[in-house]
Structure 1
Amino acid sequence: MNQTTQANQPLSRETVQRIDAYWRAANYLSVGQIYLYDNPLLKQPLKREHIKPRLLGHWGTTPGLNFIYAHLNRIIKARDLPVLYIAGPGHGGPGLVANVYLEGTYSEVYPNISQDEAGLHRLFKQFSFPGGIPSHVAPETPGSIHEGGELGYSLAHAYGAAFDHPELLVACVIGDGEAETGPLAGSWHGNKFLNPVRDGAVLPILHLNGYKIAGPTVLARMPPDELESLLVGYGHQPFFVEGDDPATMHQLMASTLDEIVTTIRGIQQEARSKGFAGRPRWPMIVLRTPKGWTGPKEVDGKPTEGTFRSHQVPMGEMDKPGHVELLEAWLKSYRPEELFDETGRLIPELAELAPTGERRMGAIACANGGGLLRDLQMPDFRQYAVPVVKPGVEDAETTRVQGLLLRDVLKLNPHNFRLFGPDETASNRWGGVFEVTDRCSTEQILPTDEHVAHDGRVMEILSEHLCQGWLEGYLLTGRHGFLNCYEAFIHIVDSMFNQHAKWLKTSREIPWRRPIASLNYLLTSHVWRQDHNGFSHQDPGFIDHVVNKNAQVIRVYLPPDANTLLSVTDHCLRSRDYVNVVVAGKQPAPQWLDMDAAVLHCTAGIGIWEWASNDRGSEPDVVMACCGDVPTMETLAAVEILRIAQPDLKVRVVNVVDLMKLQPASEHPHGMSDKEFDALFTTDKPIIFAFHGYPWLIHRLTYRRTNHDNLHVRGYKEEGTTTTPFDMVVLNDLDRFHLVSDVVDRVPQLGARAAYLKQEMRDKRMQHKQYIETYGTDMPEIRNWKWSGKR
């Protein structure tokens, strides 16, 4: 086993004692946060009234996190290192808060939590307390980019933070419960994308304390040789630091960190002086300590330290006989009188162990990435415009045009912009980016590979979790990016999106957190053009999930053509503190707006397409609304049928690019007032709304509107298969023939004179079915349809 041995003792006895005292101080503050309401320095005998009425928090992982923090402080000072600390066991919140308090960062950003007895009192009381702070590592915690609820994402965040930060060392603590998750299991492969020439380093620290909430963990119970083989197989050089004797463990950890930092610096220096020569075997640590280390050995006659019983609050019922006394003995075991002076301040000889300024892990600049963020150099998106002389006549692959814009964004921003996606960059028509960069891999590259390089800036791996986690880490540390994915499979990161949206919502309310670049999604290969893959690839529901989140954070765009997509993309790349979801097709499709019209339309987010309407100067008989590229085409095809068959019918076409415009202004910053909404959709006329996603989402967004009772929405109804493009809309009743029938049914004045038209629409649907089952493709009138513009 590649384990540091006790024979190597780099620390003097005095240094060991001081590091141990600092660790004891962090442990004392951690226990105090979980339990104490008053009496922070135990100047009085502990009583029940000094203890919080509700005990919340997690102790089990905390002493290990504190141990790591104390030793990272030492190596930072010894080597003058910038280190970002990521705590995968995010419920070790009391430990991280304790450490940023001890180093002084916490009091700088929260002056009321002062470094004295009164500050300690507030520090303890606020933890998991109404009006206070969460029980886990959160945006409120200085130095953090990783939320306590993000189980399994820590290592992905670590690699995202290290990309393009050449001097940074990211110390990522991975809990052994967290290590059982799928996202974390995939994240070990991040080392195949880390280039020592231009990137920082990631130091994974697998913290094995044996248990999760109530049972043993997989990795902790593996035979040591199997565990080592697993980690070696992932491409790491594991160092094992194991035990429970503090004096021995301090020496082991110090000597291990010394060797690891020397190894990392050697890897980087060689690569930067001689060039990239092959993927290095990056070092990592396996730290095995008891769960709840230094806590009560036994509670109520049951073993606690080293068992699952120390996972959360070892003594949760403080009214039980003997529990107050046990807590007092536990707190006093850290000898607080040796750690803090009479005023409650950490004694100087311990305080000086912490780094200073931005070398403190709570104050490192990249953990508040908005402070490092620089605007992208942006080309003028108008130069990529698709010429539109007449609406709906010419076709283009919308996302291919977007790819040309992104190509030049990459070219202009070679150090702070990357693209992320699960092996779909070319499939999703972003292939233009390969004119200026390649896919990134630090593995062996074969002559048969195309567009693969050690310094590529396109980050592809078949794990949506990893792509999302890398991008989040990249954004949170002050850079920009874009993620592309098949629409149906973005659901894989639903919970990751949740946590990032919650992080943004909370961080916007914290004055010292600076705005970061928005998280941008392109969802393509979407539901209406997944005809070749079939039902499993057909799901537009991610946008339903997104709109559940805080309105200050989320934005959803469905541009109908290339020029509107260019305008939306430019806006998204310039925005801050949002999650922008852009849904656009990649297949050849009609182009509707020239660039000037597209910019105006996207700026408004919604509008009447006058060139497709014939109601100017009068009230419409029907409003034909559409949102999404395929629904827009079907709507306009239906309008054209109506114009020919019912030339006197007054039709207004309303197109929606910004989905959130449909909400009331009181619910979303982009929302329209009732007056604006009524002006577009009328107060009493039928509205036939063709929507990209599930129909009930439109009803959710508009249920308060005056004319909601007249709103009829067509969208995806969970019908699909491997079939023709047009048959997908037919299966879901979103086709032009169905939309025409909806108008006939809902415009009273058409009455009996439109009966023949409705029958014709029914017959057209039957003809379509017969045709595709015979020829395997859509009817020529569908395949070759163009907007004629007849009025």
Structure 2
Amino acid sequence: MPQAEHRDRTTVLTDEEVRVLDAHWRAATYLAAGQIYLLANPLLTEPLRPEHIKPRLLGHWGTSPGLNLVYTHLNRVIRARGIDALCIWGPGHGGPSVLANSWLEGSYSETYPDVTRDAAGMERLFRQFSFPGGVPSHVAPEVPGSLHEGGELGYSLAHAYGAALDNPELLVACVIGDGEAETGPLAASWHGNKFLDPVHDGAVLPILHLNGYKIANPTVLSRLPEDELDTLLRGYGHEPLHVTGDDPAQVHRAMAAALDEALDRIAAAQHAARAEGVTERVHWPVIVLRTPKGWTGPAEVDGVPVEGTWRAHQVPLAGVRDNPAHLRQLEEWLRSYRPQELFDADGRPGPEVLACVPQGARRLGATPHANGGLRTRELPIPPLEDFAVSVDKPGTTLHEPTRILGGLLERIMADTADRRDFRLVGPDETASNRLQDVYGATGKAWQETTLDVDENLDRHGRVMEILSEHVCQGWLEGYLLTGRHGLFSCYEAFVHIVDSMVNQHIKWLKTSRRLPWRAPIPSLNYLLTSHVWRQDHNGFSHQDPGFVDHVLNKSPEAVRVYLPPDANTLLAVADHVLRSRDYVNVVVAGKQPCFDWLTVDQARVHCARGAGVWEWAGTEDGTREPDVVLACAGDVPTLEVLAAAQLLRRHLPELAVRVVNVVDIARLMPSGEHPHGMSDFEYDGLFTADKPVIFAYHGYPWLIHRLAYRRTGHRNLHVRGYKEAGTTTTPFDMVVSNDLDRYRLVMDVVDRVPGLAVRAAGVRQRMADTRTRHHAWIREHGVDLPEVAEWSWEG
């Protein structure tokens, strides 16, 4: 590899400055290697023996030396310039490096007092790494200063931009591994610079770390000719600064020059925007760092090249306990860092090692920005009465629930205009999802060219739209993890694109809850609309309600799912989820006109209990148990159940019908399995233990069976829902196609209530005939039957 160079600016480091930086880097790199291998003898005070080696060697060495270099040099500029900084460590398994550096700077021992900054603490640091009862091999919630799970390949840059939003004094460095750089989410994340406001936001400094290889293959960007890579990065809107080499002293000088150049450019751009009113989009710097994979590790093992190849990715010397030659090679490798120069006899880092380390909260492992709950302020949510719709009688007026919610969000945006800690994100769908009222308080963030025909674009806007669900999710996660609030609005069918991302966030929350030093952060709130039952115009490709199933597979303490049936209930749910902490909340609500069932006060009570009897909708008289329970969850299923209840009232008036609406879907689970679950006593009281339950559900019907399969009355539970029957058709034909319609529900009642099959055969036949008439009608007229289209509640 050629000598290290940086051609844009020369920062002249003295030999003493290089020596100090190198001491810190060598110490961190020694500690990174030690975590992978050593169980004891952390300072090599005696010859290395097999019993000093871990029985299972786990971890990833290849990326560690480069990450240590970045950490060392970030320390230098943070200390020299007095800046607040956060670093997102993108390479998948860079845990040894970030742990090593946080231990060196003291933040790790402050967080975990039993891991002291001395020989005993070093031994504990080594032992716990990738060890039963210890810490993971990647950057995880347990690591001070982290807010990005190391396994989340592809999301680091989006997280970095989310962290920088509305943090004007913060520098967010983001190390991007060259394997990670091949992912689709990362490729789209480069466009974050078109949304970063140099006036109100902080700066993001991407550091593209190209060490050449993934697990077993070369990486695409590392093999591109430099001019081609430059063209790509400039096309993304960045100005690249290159650092390339394998000689440590020269790399230190080049890295210092590149960082100083980058930070000078950032400071100049921010000054121009903030003090001089310059409005042209900034072309922010990016550092391209090329160092060998497994740098300073074994050059060869058993005659095969390792350093600078894919073989350095994980554990370059695997047979250390059983192979004396490997053991000798490991000892030579570890002693090459000269640990006796770096740590005193008690194992404490020497003054030279710590000379470049910042103090207090400016240490990367101690920044409060990476423990966002410490910075969170309560969101000012106005009284719901200011936005609620009037409901004098259920089922007679209609409103678009998400449009009503838009009014509430506009007020929140207005009330947070000065503090700037609330954002709405979504993939080009804010207005489509009827949330456009928010534009009365703020526009859409946009730093690119604008045209006369454009609407609602705003250089300082807090609505974020980009047609990449991955980037939207990453922005919002970074924003929440640094202590702010937000909402992700998305078409229901396409939120599946972020299935993997929400997995990781839920795992992060679950782990964080066990760490007393991590303060709770605002919840990740999804609003899923344009949902399956009203995608009759877009058709089958836009019909998928399965995100709820995906989320409810996850840790019960972290996930919540709500299906408000009308506008006021949506307001009550929104009030709850926007105030909550440490959850992933999924709210499924329609944007099309929907009947108003509950007043705002009734909606609050209904949301608090999560599921309840709508007495006004049934025909129980309080003297006997119901003959049948009609249950529903979701706006369209609620409409169909109430229409079915009305048909039963008309055609079978002697039947005692109970109507139950479920807004919090986890209420169906046993109380021992989910914090919101019902006891068997509660469940049986609501749904009965032995009566037929016809359940109309918004999504895939088997989810309800899965949640309720342990209940006494499960054998009596019959669920209707979406069963992959969809096309471009009328709204009511969608429910008919999936057997969720009111006529099918009445037929289900006749089929399942004992004695009705014979006694009510005529009623069943009329229901079936109406379904047949429906099919003929829509094919002739293109619209739904008049009795469906003009229906309203007549109870």
TM-score range, shorter chain: over 0.9
How far has the Cα of 1:4 moved from its partner? 2.1
| Residue of structure 2 in register with 1:133 after alignment | 135
Note if 1:590 corresponds to 2:595.
yes
Structure 1 residue aligned with 2:762? 756
Out of 82-91 and 467-476, give the one that drifted further.
82-91
Alignment of 1:650-661 (within 5 A): 650-661=656-667
Q: Does 1:671 align with 2:684?
A: no
**Identity value in percent:** 65
Q: Given that residues 23 and 352 in structure 2 are in contact (C-alpha distance below 8 angstroms), is that contact kept between their aligned partners in structure 1?
A: no
Structure 2 equivalent of residue 777 of structure 1: 783
SS at match of 1:532: coil
Partner of 1:683: 689
Partner of 1:417: 422
Distance 1:95-1:741 versus aligned 2 partners, 3 A rule = same
Deviates most, 443-452 or 7-16:
7-16
Instruction: Verify: 1:477 aligned to 2:482, yes or no.
Output: yes
How far residue 348 of structure 1 moved from its aligned partner, in angstroms, is: 1.9
CA contact (8 A) 1:370 1:516 kept: yes
Tell me if structure 2 keeps the 8 A contact 1:6–1:251: no
Distance 2:385 2:555 in 1: 32
CA separation of 1:635/1:339 partners in 2, compared to 1, >3 Å: closer, same or farther? same
C-alpha deviation, 1:300, in angstroms: 1.2
Aligned to 1:519: 524
The residue number in structure 1 matching 2:88 is 86
Normalising by structure 1, report the TM-score. 0.99
Letter in 2 for 1:231: L
Indicate yes or no: 2:341 matched with 1:335. Answer: no
**Equivalent residue for 1:461, pick from 454, 457, 466:** 466
Whole-angstrom distance in 1 between the partners of 2:21 and 2:446: 40
Are the equivalent residues in 2 in contact too, given 1:152–1:181 (CA < 8 A)? yes
- 1:353 is displaced (CA, Å) by 1.9
Q: Given the alignment, which residue of 348, 356, 360 partners 2:351?
A: 348
From 378, 396, 407, the counterpart of 1:404: 407
Give the corresponding residue for 2:184.
182
Deviations 1:178-204 (A, max 9, x none): 000000000000000001111100000
1:695 aligns with 2:701: yes
Distance in 2 between residues matched to 1:616 and 1:577, nearest whole Å: 43
* Cα pair 1:128 1:135 within 8 Å, conserved: yes
TM-superposed deviation, 1:349: 2.6
Output the CA distance in 1 between the equivalents of 2:319 and 2:562: 51
Q: SS of 2:371's equivalent?
A: helix
Tell me, yes or no, if the aligned pair for 2:9 and 2:258 is still in contact at 8 Å. Answer: no
The match for 2:753 among 747, 765, 768 is 747
Shift of 1:321: 4.2
Q: Does 1:486 align with 2:491?
A: yes
* Aligned counterparts of 2:90 and 2:647: Cα–Cα separation in 1: 59
Structure 2 equivalent of residue 159 of structure 1? 161
In the other structure, the counterpart of 1:540 is: 545
- Per-residue CA deviation, residues 748-787 of structure 1 (Å, 9 max, x unaligned), is 1323121011111111111000011111111111111101
The secondary structure found in structure 1 opposite 2:760 is helix
Q: How far apart, CA to CA, are the structure 2 residues paired with 1:515 and 1:4?
A: 42
Q: 1:719 aligns with which of 711, 721, 725?
A: 725
For the Cα contact (< 8 Å) 1:90–1:146, is it kept in 2? no
State which of 563, 566, 574 in structure 1 corresponds to 2:571. Answer: 566
Is the 8 Å Cα contact of residues 244 and 289 (structure 1) preserved in structure 2? yes
Correspondence 1:448 to 2:428: no
Residue identity opposite 1:670 in structure 2? H
The one-letter amino acid of 1:391's match is: P
Shift of 1:382: 2.1
Question: Which position in structure 2 is the counterpart of 1:38?
Answer: 40
Q: RMSD of the alignment, in Å? A: 1.0
CA distance in 1: counterparts of 2:697 and 2:210, whole angstroms: 50
Moved more, 2-11 or 140-149: 2-11
Is contact 2:640-2:742 (8 Å) kept? yes
222, 236, 239: which is aligned to 1:237? 239
State the match for 1:4 in structure 2: 6
Mapped partners of 1:355, 1:378: distance in 2? 39
Amino acid in structure 1 at the alignment position of 2:408: L
In the alignment, which residue of structure 2 is the partner of 1:381? 384
2:670 equivalent to 1:625? no
Deviation string, structure 1 residues 670-725 (Cα, Å, up to 9, x no partner): 11111000000111000000000101100111111111110000001011011110
Q: Compute the TM-score of the two structures, normalised by the length of structure 2.
A: 0.98
Gaps of at least 5 residues in structure 2 are: none
2:295 paired residue number: 293
- Aligned equivalents of 2:752, 2:107: Cα separation in 1: 65
Q: Tell whether the 8 Å contact from 2:160 to 2:172 is kept in structure 1 after alignment.
A: yes
Does structure 1 retain, via aligned residues, the 8 Å contact 2:700–2:723?
yes
User: Conserved in 1, the CA contact under 8 Å of 2:26 and 2:337?
Assistant: yes
- Measured in 2, the distance between the counterparts of 1:322 and 1:562 equals 72
Task: Read off the aligned partner of 2:160 and give its amino acid letter.
Answer: A
SS in 1 for 2:13: coil
* 2:654 aligned with 1:648: yes
- 1:102 maps to 104
Deviations 1:126-168 (A, max 9, x none): 0000000000000000000000111000000000000000000
Aligned equivalent of 1:510: 515
Amino acid corresponding to residue 339 of structure 1 in structure 2: L
Distance 1:530 1:6 in 2: 54
Post-superposition offset of 1:9: 4.7
Corresponding position: 1:359 with 2:362: yes
Unaligned runs of 5+ in 1: none
Distance 1:261 1:113 in 2: 34
Determine the structure 2 residue equivalent to 1:257.
259
User: What is the letter of the counterpart of residue 703 of structure 1?
Assistant: Y
Q: Secondary structure at the match of 1:34?
A: helix
Q: Deviations over 1:611-668 (max 9, x none)?
A: 0012131200000000000000000111111111100000000000000111111011
Partner SS, residue 748 of structure 1: coil
Return the alpha-carbon distance in structure 2 between the equivalents of residues 696 and 460 of structure 1. 34
Partner of 2:645: 639
Secondary structure in structure 2 of the residue aligned to 1:322: helix
Q: Which amino acid aligns with 2:695?
A: F
Q: After superposition, give the CA deviation of every residue in 1:50-103 in whole Å (9 maximum; x if it has no partner).
A: 000111110101100000100110001110011101100030100000000000
CA apart distance, 1:352: 2.8
**Secondary structure at the residue paired with 2:438?**
helix
The amino acid across from 1:614 in the alignment is: T
What is the aligned partner in structure 2 of residue 13 from structure 1? 15
Residue 683 of structure 1 aligns to which amino acid in structure 2? A
1:206 Cα deviation from its structure 2 partner: 0.3
Give 1:419's aligned amino acid.
Answer: L
CA-CA distance at 1:351 after TM superposition: 1.7
2: CA distance between counterparts of 1:24 and 1:229?
34
Question: How far apart are the structure 2 equivalents of 1:787 and 1:331?
Answer: 78
Deviations 1:313-333 (A, max 9, x none): 111222234111111111001
Residue number in structure 1 paired with 2:744 = 738
Aligned match of 2:317? 315
Name the residue aligned to 1:431: 436
Distance in 2 (alpha carbons) for counterparts of 1:599 and 1:176: 50
> Following the alignment from structure 1 to structure 2, what is the Cα–Cα distance between the partners of residues 751 and 239?
78
How far apart, CA to CA, are the structure 2 residues paired with 1:13 and 1:778? 82
Corresponding residue number in structure 2 for 1:219: 221
Encode CA deviations 1:540-572: one digit per residue, 9 max, x unaligned.
Answer: 000000001111100000000000000000001
- Tell me the equivalent position of 1:116: 118
* Native 8 Å contact 1:4 1:255 kept in 2: yes
Please state how far the C-alpha of 1:5 moved relative to its aligned partner.
3.4
**TM-fit CA distance, 1:262:** 1.1
> Match of 2:560?
555
- In the alignment, structure 1 residue 579 sits paired with structure 2 residue 581: no
Whether the 8 Å contact between 2:27 and 2:353 is mirrored in structure 1 is no
- How far 1:7 moved relative to its partner? 8.6
Secondary structure, counterpart of 2:719 in structure 1: strand
Give the Cα–Cα distance (whole angstroms) in 1 for the partners of residues 602 and 270 of structure 2.
51
Q: Distance in 1 between matches of 2:124 and 2:133?
A: 11
> What amino acid is the match of 2:371?
N
Q: Secondary structure, in 3 states, of the residue corresponding to 1:171?
A: strand
